[in-house]
A and B are shown apart, each in its own frame.
Chain A
Amino acid sequence: MASGGTVRLWAVVASKLVRDLQAAVGARWVLHAPEDLLVYEYDATIERGLPDAVVLPDSARQVAAAVRISTKHGVAVTARGAGTGLSGGAIPCEGGVVIVTSRMNRILQLDVENRLAVVEPGVINLDISQQAAPHGLYFAPDPSSQKACTIGGNVAENAGGPHCLRYGTTTNHVLALEIVTADGQIVWLGSPAADPPGYDLTGVVVGSEGTLAIVTKAVVRLLHKPECTITLLAIFDEVGQASEAVSAIIGEGVLPAALEMMDKNTMEAVEAAVHAGYPPDAGAVLLIEVEGLQEEAQEESDAVQAICRRLAAREVRVGLSEEERERLWAGRKGALGALGRLAPSYYILDGVVPRSRLPSVLSGVYEACDRHGFRVANVFHAGDGNLHPNVMFDERVPGTTERVLQLGEEIMRLCVDAGGSITGEHGVGYEKRSYMSWIFTEDDLEVMSRLKAAFGAAERFNPGKVFPTSKGCGEVSSRMRAAIAKVGPDAYV
């Protein structure tokens, strides 16, 4: 986008598609030189697909124009935020036009009185909370990538995060959306006021992985910051004890704001990277956050400590001040980056099980990894039953990638057999399309496709995602090989 890029544009013969896009948004904001397009070929994982052109619009009208032009030229449109997604949501599987929202990054309104914000899709998640902080407000969904990921991407994937245990995922915090439809119309869905009449179209666009519409504005709910937050770190000898503690905490009526688990392999990596002070022989740690009024947080903190001690926690550390709390979180937040030290590649999985099945599914995960001969590091949202096994491997060893994929599939099976789901927060994307039929019948999927028909989206937006289909980005295994290798120290869960 620098002026150097503009100069380069003229050196390439622009297609008719590119010339139309240039006319709509300005030549400077259309990329089509191969070296520029490469940057938009991938996201944080899995898939690659080279776009024909990349557009950086500045307004909903420009997005609508880009959509209409793409339709005229018969190419697909894929929206892209920061590209931090873990299911290939921003990858243009069938080429076409990628609409990047990075210039639409304005917080248009911060309504303190009504506790809401009107934002453009390119606004970074954490920026909303930072802007709202002086008023004692914040935006609750906090995916670990929140310093980089955008609201548009959060809406598309219905992003979660550690604190959605208590506060819900993105869908519970979006009141209204301005969208561009496949026929290039700009339409508002929902309302900043409660209970707007009609079908809840906002609710179905959230989490639709960019296949129904392109979001150009979002009205999001803000929450008051709690008076008191206490962070606890409980250290256990065994993973089994830690998962029993998770069940006990939830079962005894404590609903923490966050309840995260890290296993031995994760701790080992974290210890080497950020020196979080974990005992080298511990089997698992739980990171538990309770909040509310001073009295409530204290009572819950006491209850959690009692439960952890009863279930043989060898130590419970308590963080009260902002600084102490951040120290306890440091290991968790740096976990995935640290894992990069243990193996050349790792494969992040995302599955959900009913909370009571956590102990048995976790042992199933370790058993399967042992059987396939891979190390696994588990770092995940235990309170929600949302597992993230990270399988470590060396893709340079021939045949390894295929075995890792096989293992990943087995682990997903374990989750589904336990009554769970194939994705808790990363999305179906391309990678998990074929697993959709494990949890949904053909009739279920057919009904979902009716929604796509109602939006007139067909395969115009983000084709090849969510639905099981033989069409896609080419040969799966070779693609997956390239993709898994991408998952590195910059990834988040």
Chain B
Amino acid sequence: MVKQASVLADLESIVGRDHAGAPQDSYQVDGLAPQVAVRPGSYEEVANVLRYARSEGLAVIPWGGGTMMHAGNVPSRYDIALSLSRLDQLIEHEPADLTVTCQAGMALTQLQRHLGASGQLLPLGPFPEAEATIGGILAANASSAVRYAYGAPRDVTIGLRVVTADGHLTRAGGKVVKNVAGYDLCKLYIGSLGTLGVIVEATFKVAPVPKAQSAVSLAFPTPAAACSFGTELLRRGLSLRAMQLLGPLRDSAIPWRLDLDLAGSPLAVQRSQKEITALAAGGVASPVTPDAGQTAPATLACKLSVLPSQLPTLIARLTELDDLPAIEALPTIGVLRASWTQIDDAEATLERVRSIASTLNTSCIVERCPIELKRKIDVFGDAPPSFDLMRRVKEQFDPTSVLSPGRFLGRL
């Protein structure tokens, strides 16, 4: 703190006076505030900020739209917030190539607007927050229900430009859809939560906007019924873009809702809708109108991943808890989010959730929890067998822990 004034002055000399400042309440991570927030205007400035931080032994946390900053462990140190908000430009979009390159600070919503004008889309999201940026989505490996059809961020990203912890601007992958030159470092940076490098630019495969679209919601008495319905739709290869299971809806005899997003060629969507309706009528599902869903931010939220066949069991166990969670799940993928808006004892509930996870041999990542609890735990859970290799990767990529120290699995 003694050094704060000189740190600010030094950073001002890198990014300009207008783009560095001592933040008041903004840019906090888990209650920690940085000494300085900087908004570099070029990749070179990002590199210079990191070189400076490294030489001064300061810790940097990259900042996109700030919508996922609750993810990860409590940082062990935090001196500089590195905002990418000024690096928000579209670099290249050639519709005939079905690829797009943009800077990491660009909001996904903004990029979608641009692509939409050419009848294309980036198959990620939508995410509830309009501010979510490309860089943040990649760092957090955030995905949505459309991964049913398109895959997750690692499947659609073909190139990245990344500033390394020692301040070098580097490239991974390229700008073509098929490329096996060199190690695929894109995979490594995606989901690394800003601990291996600062993503400043990304190139993606894009997809044509479907010619037809439609939505169906069905209610089911049990999660198992909904999941097996979902599996049947997958088996039939119906034109689905997304499938999400929500519940349990309170005070309802049929408390599980399956939201289906149909997309594709008009005739195929039409037929899919017909088949879904017929299948539902012949079984245990009934059509419902989706409501807006909960809006209050969760006090505790956990992401659990299982094999799709285990999902009904997992949901059954979670709904036996005293504190009933709200559940959103992707049936054919096996990803589930359980969240609690009001909870008496988050620690006790989490302990029970983790014990369920461990019985089913599944991962359990705490996405949101009270800060006092967060300080006590590793939100990613137990280290996997390959943790030693992960630690060595961190040591190689960021030997002095400049980048987001402590936030990753195993407090890397």
Contacts and interface: CB of A to CB of B under 8 A. Distances in A.
Contacts of B151: 168, 172
Interface stretch (B20-28, B106-114, B385-393): B385-393
Nearest to A421: B179
B282 interface: no
A486 interface: no
Contacts of B94: 354, 356
A198 B390 contact: yes
A313 to B, nearest CB: 19
Contacts of A466: 182-183
A132 B279 CA distance: 26
A168 B155 contact: yes
Contacts of B265: 292, 295-296, 299-300
A456 B391 CA distance: 12
A458 to B, nearest CB: 13
A287 interface: no
Contacts of A208: 183
A17 interface: no
Nearest to A386: B178
Contacts of B95: 251
Most buried by B among A206, A226, A355: A355
A224 B237 contact: yes
A157 B180 contact: yes
A421 B173 CA distance: 9
B216 interface: no
Interface residues of A, number: 88
A455 interface: yes
Contacts of A426: 180
A169 interface: yes
Interface in B323-366: 333-335, 362-363, 365
A197 B170 contact: no
A51 interface: no
B154 to A, nearest CB: 6
B119 A448 contact: no
Contacts of A227: 236-237
Nearest to B304: A193
A264 B333 CA distance: 45
A447 B307 contact: no
A90 B155 CA distance: 27
Most buried by B among A196, A226, A385, A420: A196
B217 to A, nearest CB: 22
A25 interface: no
Main secondary structure of the interface of B (DSSP, over half): mixed
A332 interface: no
Nearest to A300: B265
Interface stretch (B48-56, B186-194, B284-292): B186-194
Given A187-B389, A193-B334, A439 B239 contact: no
B306 interface: yes
A207 B176 contact: no
B184 A204 contact: yes
B188 A203 contact: yes
Nearest to A192: B307
Interface string A408-437: 000000000001111111111000100010
A187 B179 contact: no
B363 A191 contact: yes
Contacts of B271: 293, 295
A198 B409 contact: yes
Given A181-B389, A199-B192, A250-B96, A425 B178 contact: yes
B211 interface: yes
B181 A421 contact: yes
Interface string A349-373: 0001111100000000000000000
A316 B190 CA distance: 43
A255 B182 CA distance: 27
Interface in A285-337: 292-293, 295-296, 298-300
A200 B208 contact: no
Contacts of A423: 179-181
Nearest to B266: A299
B141 to A, nearest CB: 7
B97 interface: yes
Nearest to A350: B180
B363 A114 contact: no
B283 interface: no
B119 A253 contact: yes
B2 to A, nearest CB: 34
Contact of B175 (A160, A299, A354, A441): A354
Contacts of B207: 255
Contact of B381 (A164, A197, A450): A197
A424 B178 contact: yes
A299 B267 contact: yes
A448 B185 contact: yes
A444 B178 contact: no
Contacts of B388: 187
Contact of B184 (A158, A224, A292): A158
Contacts of B98: 250, 355
Given A168-B151, A293-B268, 14 more contacts: A192-B307, A193-B362, A198-B380, A203-B154, A204-B183, A295-B270, A355-B97, A356-B97, A423-B180, A428-B181, A436-B182, A444-B170, A451-B185, A454-B397
22 contacts: A114-B308, A187-B385, A191-B363, A192-B307, A193-B306, A198-B386, A198-B408, A203-B154, A204-B184, A227-B237, A250-B98, A353-B176, A381-B178, A385-B178, A424-B179, A424-B180, A425-B180, A428-B182, A451-B188, A451-B393, A454-B389, A466-B182
List 5 tightest A-B contacts by C-beta distance, closest first.
A203-B187, A253-B208, A295-B267, A296-B268, A450-B396
